[in-house]
Amino acid sequence: MLEHEITVGIGGAAGDGIASTGDTLSKSFSRAGIDIYVYNSYQSVIRGGHVWLRLRASQEKVSNHGDHLDVVIALNQDTVDQHALEVEPGGGIIFNSDRIKIDEAHLKAGVKAFPIPVLELLKSFPDKNPIYQNIIDLGALLALTGMDFQVTADLIKETFEKKGEKVIETNINMLKMGYDYAKKNFQPLRKALKGDSKKRMVTTGNELIAIGATAAGCKFYSAYPMTPATSILQWMANRGTQYGVVVKQAEDEISVVNMAIGAGHVGVRSMCGTSGGGFALMTEAVGAAAMTETPVVIVNVMRGGPSTGLPTKTEQGDLNQVLGASQGDFPRAIIAPTHIVDCYNVAVEAHNLAEIYQCPVLILSDLLVSEHHETVYLDDIKFDVPIDRGQVVSKWDESKGRFKRYQFTESGVSPRALPGTEGTLFVAATDEHDEDGVLVSDVFTNPVIRKQMMEKRMRKLDEIVKRFPLPKIWGAQDAETTLIGWGASGGVIQEAISLLAKEGIKVNHLQFKYLYPFPGEAVLKILEKLKTTYIVEANYTGQFARYLRGETGFKPTGQILKYDGEPFEPLHIVKEVKEKKAYARSR
């Protein structure tokens, strides 16, 4: 067990209070000046099933949930059966001994059992409900890890403030009960982690997407609840009135996206969110936004597919879907946030891009980055963000001639007028059209206008790609091996590289965020300098590897793929790299 960090697993069934226990523990660490990263592996049932939450707390910033386990809070027997052997020597298992049995002979050497007789402890309290085992066990964890009891007690006061003094008093008594029992009966596991004075908040990628969109001036959000994008809708619904955002839950994703496009058409910054199954219903409308040159931001938070797939599990399986959304060729931008704070930054950037280039912008997130909880330093969030509305006409100067909404321009971006602007009458049709918006395909298709209009729209891509910075090599420039990732896999890849370095294996890293339009020639110049390359991604077919080869002609040495619904862990990548290197040497 490392002195500078600790990883806690909390397991049980849905309804056992795992999420609330994890939230309380996360905020307790944060308020003590300690960084955390939390991943909750939950099932798509309201009660029952196996829920497994891993919280990694560290005196240094961590970017994934790691692959070690120091302490388990077991709320049912299933958790012990599944995870007891994962606990590292020096760690232990906290459990309700009235319900759960552990044979210490079956544990790893150096792993301790910490039985808590919950029913016996509750005898002196009027409410003898064993549901309190989660907070009693949490109190024991505080004692075993040297955490400040009062920090968590104050947090409980805030959490249950609206439920009254009796609820607050009961929960603090339960916390104290577990704390005192552990202090009296068990030896502490370790020295307490040392915190610092940096101001942090515990948040998720989805919350930061919502906050970033709001900071960027988003005034309309529509969605149909679909895991793992639902918490964007929840954040917006809870705070929309406060920040002047109109929030609509529609009957399906077709209505969702068309509402957002309608809002964008009349000049309101708009966004909608869904996951892959919902995005499948949105795809026709994505093309409609491109044809009418209407700004809209669409968030796709990926989960395991196809079809209903794995509603509560992570995957990077929708790249092909968003690249192929709608029919025909049209301008749009696709961006995949690379870490939790980047979710905020990308939301801001997406709204600006959508209005500057009058096109749909797709944010391609995934369950892991969108739903995991992490400490974020307040200094990393810049609320005074740039807002660029693009070429919006407030009043048309008739000396310039008739207003042409889809005027042919060198940049591909035409003057945009909001409905009702004086002197700017135009048609916004989803059929192909001329500069005025008049259809050119009903009675006689005008091939000349079609060609000119298509080229005008597609010129936007040349301008958009100029705004996208090229990816940079992270780590030793002369490394023999390079790991290539996209989206939010960068943190776990970098930790794997650090572990490989300790074994004398020099590896560096290239991470892609801007997926479309793609600067193929410029990226190829970077790739050509690399030696052995492995692309790391969470899908079965290596979607990004195929895309990268299609855009650049570059073929990697190999791939490291994962598609079981659970995130990559550092040692998984380390093992794959070492095995591939050994295989290459043996050939």
For the chain, how far is it from start to end, CA to CA, in angstroms? 38
Structure letter (DSSP) for residue 570: H
CA–CA separation, 286 and 322 (whole Å): 10
- Chain centre to alpha carbon of residue 321: 18
Q: Is 464 helix (H, G, I), strand (E, B) or coil?
A: helix
Q: Which of 438, 301, 288 is nearest to 367 (CA)?
A: 301
The pLDDT value recorded for residue 1 is: 44
- Chain centre to alpha carbon of residue 145: 30
Antiparallel, parallel or unpaired: β 200-204 and 373-377: antiparallel
The pLDDT value recorded for residue 125 is: 82
Q: Which of 486, 169, 544 is nearest to 323 (CA)?
A: 544
Task: Extract the tokens encoding 256.
Answer: 């969702």
Q: 309-332 b/e with 16+ CB inside 10 Å = b?
A: bbbbbbbbbbbebbbebbeeebbb
Q: Are 298 and 260 in contact (CB under 8 A)?
A: yes
Q: Are 232 and 223 in contact (CB under 8 A)?
A: yes
Q: Is 567 helix (H, G, I), strand (E, B) or coil?
A: coil
The pLDDT value recorded for residue 339 is: 98
Return all residues near 26 (Cβ < 8 A) that are at least 6 apart: 36, 38, 55, 202, 373, 375
Return all residues near 124 (Cβ < 8 A) that are at least 6 apart: none
Q: Are 202 and 373 in contact (CB under 8 A)?
A: yes
H or E element, residue 432: none
The pLDDT value recorded for residue 587 is: 75
Q: Are 479 and 439 in contact (CB under 8 A)?
A: no
CA–CA separation, 397 and 399 (whole Å): 5
The phi and psi torsions of 37 (rounded to 5 degrees) equal: -140, 125
The pLDDT value recorded for residue 191 is: 78
The phi and psi torsions of 147 (rounded to 5 degrees) equal: -80, 160
CA–CA separation, 472 and 512 (whole Å): 9
**Identity (one letter) of the amino acid at 530?**
L
CA–CA separation, 211 and 264 (whole Å): 19
Q: Give pairs for 456-460: CB < 8 Å, separation 24+.
A: 456/406, 456/408, 456/409, 456/412, 456/414, 457/290, 457/293, 457/330, 457/331, 457/412, 458/329, 458/330, 458/331, 458/412, 459/410, 459/411, 459/412, 460/331, 460/357, 460/358, 460/359, 460/411, 460/412, 460/413
Alpha helices, DSSP H, located in 13-100: 18-31, 77-83
Q: Give pairs for 76-82: CB < 8 Å, separation 24+.
A: 76/11, 76/12, 76/13, 76/16, 76/100, 77/101, 78/11, 78/12, 78/13, 78/50, 79/9, 79/11, 79/12, 79/50, 79/52, 82/11, 82/50, 82/52
CA–CA separation, 457 and 554 (whole Å): 28
Q: How many residues does the chain have?
A: 587
CA–CA separation, 3 and 583 (whole Å): 36
Q: Are 142 and 160 in contact (CB under 8 A)?
A: no
The pLDDT value recorded for residue 586 is: 82
Q: Is the dihedral of CA 252, 255, 257, 260 positive or negative?
A: negative
**Dihedral angle, C-alpha 519, 524, 526, 532, nearest 10 °:** 140
CA–CA separation, 387 and 310 (whole Å): 37
CA–CA separation, 21 and 137 (whole Å): 9
Return all residues near 565 (Cβ < 8 A) that are at least 6 apart: 304, 310, 313, 314, 315
Per-state percent for the chain, helix, strand, coil, to nearest 5: 40, 20, 40
Q: Walk along the chain (587 residues) in steps of 10 and give the mean pLDDT of each run.
A: 83 92 96 97 87 96 95 96 94 95 89 95 82 94 96 95 92 96 94 90 98 98 98 98 97 98 98 98 98 98 97 97 97 98 98 98 98 96 95 86 95 95 92 95 88 98 97 94 98 97 96 98 97 98 98 98 97 97 84
pTM for this one? 0.96
Peptide bond into 228 cis (omega under 30): yes
The pLDDT value recorded for residue 368 is: 98
Strands, sheet with 48-58, edge to edge from the N-terminal-most edge strand: 112-116, 92-96, 71-74, 5-14, 48-58, 35-41, 373-377, 200-204
Return all residues near 23 (Cβ < 8 A) that are at least 6 apart: 202, 373
Q: Which domains does the chain have, with CATH numbers?
A: 5-185 (3.40.920.10), 202-380 (3.40.50.970), 392-467 (no CATH), 473-586 (3.40.50.920)
